[in-house]
């Protein structure tokens, strides 16, 4: 199920802020509750001290303001202190106001106070929670076991906490909502460029790949993304251009043998021919069919290798022996053209590779070298280990032919690419070097074309075949 990045960011940011606000609100509520209870306890202790002094100095029968005592609601609201002087057995001997005589008695706290220690106790009076403070009553330092109880209703504290809870709840809800709104706006601003970049990329099709994405290309945060997308578009543009060129080249290359084949057959059918003439036409047609078969086989091999549909059956292989085998296959042609071969083999060059596929690579490079080396010329073949540990292999094939013009070096591995006439003669399919490059890349290797150093000149092809078959381990140069 798809999710909106904007909504996800806003919800997560608001949830995080809401959780933080809840934690702060709970901490504030608990801290306030503790402080209020402590203040209430201090107030009860202070009231007990005042009542103690009042009873001790003015007499135990001192009263309160009759107007204040007569208004119980006002007394509860403004004073909220209920004082009881209790006898040792707990009976109320004096109460201020008189209704305080009905205050509940906590026997444990009473016993503690009778032993000379102050005590605190919670209880319920008239359906309300109260807090009581018990302290010994010993005027003049003479203790008679009497206890002074001072109580207060907890309703005011609960009311303050209730109002505080509502305020904190409003802060949490409001803060979370405000955070969500701000995060929604911020996330929208952050992802809006992505939407614009996506819209530009969506409008591009096969025929418009030459265009580039320009939205927010000047923004530091999105410059890298735009650059990556533009590089991808550039590669796609090149790939489509190569595909179109390959299609056109294949059509052109197929047309030539088909035209020749059709012409031979049409000429043969115009009039009666002798058996020898029919044989000549059939031999010519068979040559064109062989050329078409070779071209289709090589094109299929290149396509499968480039698409990674062909797997290299890698095995430890003696590279020197592999090169010798391919040299023996062209020995007759070398002798016919009086071309000498200079071998520069490093000892014991072994690599894990597909001997059949790499054999085709070396065969094609040797065939190329023989084709373009003039009679009496020279071919040099070099082998070496790719690294100091002996892993992988490097094979170099050089000829003493006319070489390759610098402007053509970057294109010699493209299918059906035609360089200068000196290196374009012959009846090849135009796919040989493209097949070589595809098979080398299939092994995760690299291939380079250059001109040999020295006065003799000539083309130089160097392949490197690493032990790893990771196609990204080496980039084609």
Other C-beta atoms within 10 Å of 55: how many? 19
Distance CA 365, CA 397 (A): 7
Strands (E) located in 28-146: 82-86, 92-96, 119-125, 128-136
Q: pLDDT per residue over 397-423, tens digit each?
A: 999 988 888 888 888 888 777 654 444
What pLDDT is stored for residue 471 in this prediction? 46
Instruction: Concatenate the DSSP letters of all residues of 249-273 into one string.
Output: HHHHHHHHHHHHHHHHHHHHHSS--
Q: Dihedral sign for Cα 357, 362, 367, 368, please.
A: positive
Rg of the chain over Cα atoms, rounded to whole angstroms, equals 51
Above pLDDT 90, what percent of the chain?
Answer: 41
Q: Which domains does the chain have, with CATH numbers?
A: 5-162 (3.30.450.20), 220-306 (1.10.287.130), 315-465 (3.30.565.10)
Distance CA 389, CA 168 (A): 71
DSSP class of 327: H
What pLDDT is stored for residue 370 in this prediction? 92
- 214 alpha-carbon distance from chain centroid: 24
Which H or E run includes 147?
Answer: strand 147-153
Q: pLDDT per residue over 149-203, tens digit each?
A: 999 999 999 999 999 999 999 999 999 999 999 999 988 887 777 777 778 777 7
Omega before residue 97 within 30° of 0, cis: yes
Q: Is the pTM of this model over 0.75?
A: no
Question: How large is the average pLDDT for residues 243-271?
Answer: 76
Instruction: Concatenate the DSSP letters of all residues of 447-466 into one string.
Output: EEEEE-SSTT--EEEEEEE-
Whose CA is closest to 432, among 300, 298, 330? Answer: 298
Q: pLDDT per residue over 278-290, tens digit each?
A: 888 888 888 888 8
Residue with the larger pLDDT of the pair 264 and 333: 333
Distance CA 359, CA 321 (A): 10
Distance CA 383, CA 396 (A): 6
Q: Dihedral sign for Cα 33, 35, 36, 40, please.
A: positive
């Amino acid at each position: 199920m798809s999710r909106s990045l904007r909504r996800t960011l806003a919800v997560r940011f608001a949830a995080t802020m809401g959780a933080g606000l809840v934690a702060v609100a709970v901490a504030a509520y608990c801290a306030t509750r503790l402080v209020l209870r402590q203040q209430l306890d201090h107030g009860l202790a202070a009231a007990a001290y005042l009542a103690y002094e009042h009873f001790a100095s003015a007499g135990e029968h001192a009263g309160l303001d009759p107007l204040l005592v007569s208004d119980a609601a006002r007394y509860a609201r403004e004073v909220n202190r209920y004082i009881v002087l209790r006898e040792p057995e707990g009976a109320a001997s004096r109460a201020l106001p008189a209704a305080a005589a009905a205050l509940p008695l906590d026997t444990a706290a009473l016993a503690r106070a009778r032993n000379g220690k102050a005590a605190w106790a919670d209880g319920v009076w008239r359906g309300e929670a109260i807090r009581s403070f018990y302290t010994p009553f010993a005027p003049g330092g003479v203790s008679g076991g009497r206890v002074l109880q001072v109580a207060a209703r907890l309703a005011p504290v609960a009311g303050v906490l209730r109002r505080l809870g509502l305020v904190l709840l409003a802060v949490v809800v409001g803060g979370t909502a405000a955070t969500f709104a701000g995060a929604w706006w911020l996330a929208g601003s952050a992802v809006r460029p992505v939407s614009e970049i996506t819209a530009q990329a969506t409008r591009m099709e096969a025929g418009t790949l030459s265009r580039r994405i320009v939205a927010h290309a000047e923004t530091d945060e999105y410059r890298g993304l735009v650059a990556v997308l533009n590089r991808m578009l550039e590669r796609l543009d090149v790939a489509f251009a190569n595909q179109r060129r390959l299609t056109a080249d294949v059509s052109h290359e197929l047309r030539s043998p088909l035209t020749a084949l059709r012409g031979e057959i049409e000429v043969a059918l115009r009039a009666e021919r002798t058996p020898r003439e029919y044989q000549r036409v059939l031999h010519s047609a068979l040559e064109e069919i062989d050329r078409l078969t070779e071209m289709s086989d090589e094109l299929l091999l290149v396509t499968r290798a480039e698409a990674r549909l062909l797997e290299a059956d890698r095995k430890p292989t003696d590279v020197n022996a592999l090169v010798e085998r391919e040299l023996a296959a062209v020995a007759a042609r070398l002798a016919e053209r009086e071309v000498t071969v200079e071998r520069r083999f490093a000892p014991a060059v072994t690599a894990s590779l597909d001997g059949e596929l790499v054999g085709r690579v070396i065969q094609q490079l040797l065939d190329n070298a023989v084709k373009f080396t003039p009679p009496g010329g020279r071919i040099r073949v070099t082998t070496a280990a790719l690294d100091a540990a002996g892993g992988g292999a490097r094979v170099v094939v050089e000829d003493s032919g006319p070489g390759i013009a610098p402007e053509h070096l970057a294109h010699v591995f493209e299918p059906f690419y035609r360089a200068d006439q000196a290196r374009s003669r012959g009846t090849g399919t135009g796919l040989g070097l493209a097949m070589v490059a595809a098979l080398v890349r299939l092994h995760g290797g690299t291939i380079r074309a250059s001109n040999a150093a020295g006065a003799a000149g000539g083309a130089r092809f160097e392949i490197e075949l690493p032990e790893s078959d990771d196609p990204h381990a080496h980039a084609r140069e």
